[in-house]
Structure 1
Amino acid sequence: MSTVSRDAVMAVLSQYQDPYLNSNLFAAGCLRELTVDEQGVKAHFSLPYPAGLQTTGVAQMLEMMLSAQLEVAAQIRIDWQVSAGRTQVQVLGMQGIKNIIAVASGKGGVGKSTTAANLALALARDGAKVGLLDADIYGPSQGILFGIAEGTKPAVKDEKYFVPLTAHGIELMSMAFLVDDKTPMVWRGPMVSGALLQLITQTAWSELDYLVVDMPPGTGDIQLTLAQKVPVAGSVIVTTPQDLALLDAKKGIEMFSKVHIPVLGVVENMAVHICSNCGHSEHLFGEGGGERLAQQYGVELLASLPLSILIREQADGGKPTVLAEPECQISMIYQDLARHATARLAALNAQAPAMPTIEVSDD
């Protein structure tokens, strides 16, 4: 077998553009090893975002490209590795969490909690270690979304830490696990902010790649406290195409801008309704609002999801769509959303300046 050149191999492999990094694997800095000799080609790439469901397929495709274009045997290995985000704020109990992603909305009722749950599950399906913090103190709903039985309480560690519950491979913590489901949280803003910080700092999270935070709607005390006191690496804004929802979503984006938290992108829920009887599609809440919002602020439209009764039924039944029907079209949209958001986060982490190291000598 004649030996092909390294440049020829790189030229062929560069033809593949990663859909989430928006570049080829060489330009994205994913190459870890490349050997070209008379035996063939061996290459190892490492993606910076969770991609457990797609690495084997991409590797096989690259091997076929080399075989077809250069008639050379190839062994391609692709894995992924999540790097820790660089933030200025450090919180007790969160040192083992690599990245914190806040899922927020300007107003309630736009599907923020459902998005947070499916985002966490999609990340876990791709192999990431994931936690989910329900920070919506007034209206916690992640317990219902994950099918946690009413009255379930977290264990206590060392008499001062809560041990998060685990459901479907996700670590969960919520104020709903500490109070009665029927007890309203009749608290003023400072009390709620204090309770949330206590919940955050007194939860014994494991080593996590991502902690998804289901934020309360709005841009008030709770949101600012979380944004300023917790090392949030990036945020996802959830909206509907309706003008009123978009107006509030803009306020959410502006809030994150003021506290220097990057917005990874926008998720548009209830974008279109398709009649289950006749198949007619109708934009009940307006059309293209999420895309216009993303363009206005120079961020990605991470996903556009339909108004579907399945999403509602599966969420109410304690099995969000990614868990209930992982291979359906809607689940694939959530999976795509998770990869786009984390790839964007990885790019931001790579661009961030390294924190200076302080060394003390005896001189």
Structure 2
Amino acid sequence: MPELSESAVRELLDQYPDPETGRPMGTMGQIVSSQVSGQSIRAQIGLSTHSRPIADDVRDAIESKLVAAFPGSSVELTFQDHPRPPARVGQTALRAKSVIAVGSGKGGVGKSTVAASIALTLRRLGSKVGLMDADVYGPSIPHLLGLQGRPGISESKRIDPILLDDDPNLFPMPVMSMGFLVDPSEAVIWRGPMLHGSINQFLGMTDWGELDYLLIDMPPGTGDVALTLSQAIPLAGSVVVCTPQEVALLDAVKAAAMFRKVNIPILGMVENMSGFLCPDCGKTYDIFGKGGARAKAEELDLPYLGGLPIDMKLRVAGDEGRLSSLLNQDDAARAPLDAITQAIVRQLAARSVSAPTKPSLPTL
């Protein structure tokens, strides 16, 4: 067992894998400082905004590792921001570290609400996030977020997205949707090639800025948008949303098969409308069944990311365009979303640790 010393502590910290890249933190310049005084260890570590949602996990893991290596020691670990700009995604102008598609096998399961809520949660937990509404025929993201306006064209001939900038303590979130471009009473009647072109424009011609995460709200079903996305950019993964009832699970299986067929990794399944807690009697009613998504995820060998109960406050907030403010203010409403969002980031971190990314070359 090594003797407690600053050099021994530094060596252990240097080898700890960065959750974003999987590479040792020492080689990434993330060990800011470390001191040893008696049996007390103090260290400061740089953590990128991509990993900020699981900062508590990282702290607990490093502290446990230090205490196990140096029994009887006490550890105080703090974080500071570690700037790490994203590289371009594929051949597009998009700069984002992780692009995540949120899909479902059928409509009516709350996919758009889940996609928007995950994006808002990542943002609230400290990441730089963009949200793209790829549901061209039924865009609902603008309504859920209470956003309106028409995207402009910048001097560089790129599309300026609409920004959700409702909290000075959070990064402004760029949002792009067909809902900003057509009147709510009009229908978009497009064939495949036009759909393909709009998705590519949203991805490559929108001035998203530098993002940790771009969340893409997919159209329901197993149409050609997933194929377009798989050909346009490398996606970090997908999330399948379903409800507990068997008919929804049958379609969720098709959605999972679709993502696998176009080589988009599946990060896991989310069970929406997972029980209703009666505010009057305190009893939980399983209106759409119980545990179906967890069982189906196990059957398909997929991670189960968590369940979202039926929450009247979330439904009302979405209808009134107040989804962001509710999740910022209501601990009970956001608790299950925090758990699901952190599970997604853990999946990405586990993948990075098992297969560390190569250092990216600077973009000229």
Q: Which residue of 1 aligns with 2:335?
A: 332
Q: Distance in 1 between matches of 2:226 and 2:84?
A: 26
Residue 275 of structure 1 pairs with residue 278 of structure 2: yes
Following superposition, the deviation at residue 79 of structure 1 comes to 5.0
Q: Which residue of 2 aligns with 1:154?
A: 151
| 1:43 alignment counterpart | 43
Structure 1 residue 296: deviation in Å?
1.6
CA 1:79–1:267 in 2, change beyond 3 Å: closer, same or farther? farther
Partner of 1:24: none
Partner of 1:17: none
Distance 1:181 1:348 in 2: 41
1:244 aligns with 2:241: no
Please report how far the alpha carbon of residue 355 of structure 1 lies from its aligned counterpart in structure 2 after TM superposition: 6.5
Residues 4-31 of structure 1: per-residue CA shift (max 9 Å, x gap):
6259x98xx99xxxxxx8xxxxx99668
Residues 85 and 265 (structure 1 numbering): CA distance in 2 closer, same or farther, change over 3 Å? farther
Query: Structure 2 vs 1, CA of residues 82 and 296 (structure 1 numbering), >3 Å: closer, same or farther?
Result: farther
Shift of 1:241: 0.5
- Structure 1 residue 160: Cα displacement: 2.8
* Matched residue SS, 2:274: coil
- In structure 2, the partner of 1:122 is 121
Would the alpha carbon gap of residues 237 and 252 (structure 1) be closer, same or farther in structure 2, given more than 3 Å must change? same
CA contact (8 A) 2:87 2:360 kept: no
Determine the C-alpha separation between the residues in 2 that align with 1:309 and 1:54: 30
Give SS of 2:342's match.
helix
What residue identity is the alignment partner of 2:176? M
Closer, same or farther in 2 for the Cα pair 1:200/1:325, shift >3 Å?
A: closer
Query: Cα gap change, 1:346/1:165 in structure 2, threshold over 3 Å: closer, same or farther?
Result: same
Name 2:79's counterpart in structure 1.
78
Q: How does 1:207-286 map to 2 (within 5 A)?
A: 207-286=210-289
Partner of 2:4: 5
For residues 116-157 of structure 1, give each alpha carbon's deviation from its aligned partner in whole angstroms, at most 9, with x where no partner exists.
1111111111110100000000000110011013xx101211
Mapped pair 1:199 → 2:202: yes
SS at 1:285's partner residue?
Answer: coil
Task: Say which SS state the counterpart of residue 261 (structure 1) adopts.
Answer: coil
Q: Percent identity?
A: 37
| Cα contact 1:321–1:331 (8 A) shared by 2 | no
1:137 to 1:341, Cα distance in 2 relative to 1, 3 A: same
Distance in 2 separating the partners of 1:197 and 1:347: 30
Shift of 1:197: 1.5
Alpha-carbon RMSD: 3.6
Does structure 2 retain, via aligned residues, the 8 Å contact 1:235–1:264?
yes
Secondary structure of the 2:310 match is coil
Q: How many Å separate the matches in 1 of 2:196 and 2:79?
A: 43
Tell me how many residue pairs correspond in the alignment: 334
2:52 alignment partner, SS class = coil
TM-score, normalization: structure 1?
Answer: 0.80
Question: Could you tell me which amino acid in structure 2 is paired with residue 140 of structure 1?
Answer: P
Query: Is the CA contact (8 Å cut-off) linking 1:122 and 1:322 kept in structure 2?
Result: no
Relative to structure 1, the CA distance from residue 353 to residue 85 in structure 2 (aligned partners, 3 Å threshold; closer, same or farther) is farther
- The residue aligned with 2:93 is 93
Question: Shift in Å at residue 251 of structure 1?
Answer: 1.0
User: In structure 1, what is the Cα distance between the partners aligned to 2:295 and 2:86?
Assistant: 29
Q: Contact conserved, 1:326 with 1:332, CA < 8 A, in 2?
A: no
CA distance in 2, matches of 1:285, 1:233: 31
Distance 1:339 1:184 in 2: 36
Check whether the contact 1:86–1:352 (CA below 8 A) recurs between aligned residues. no
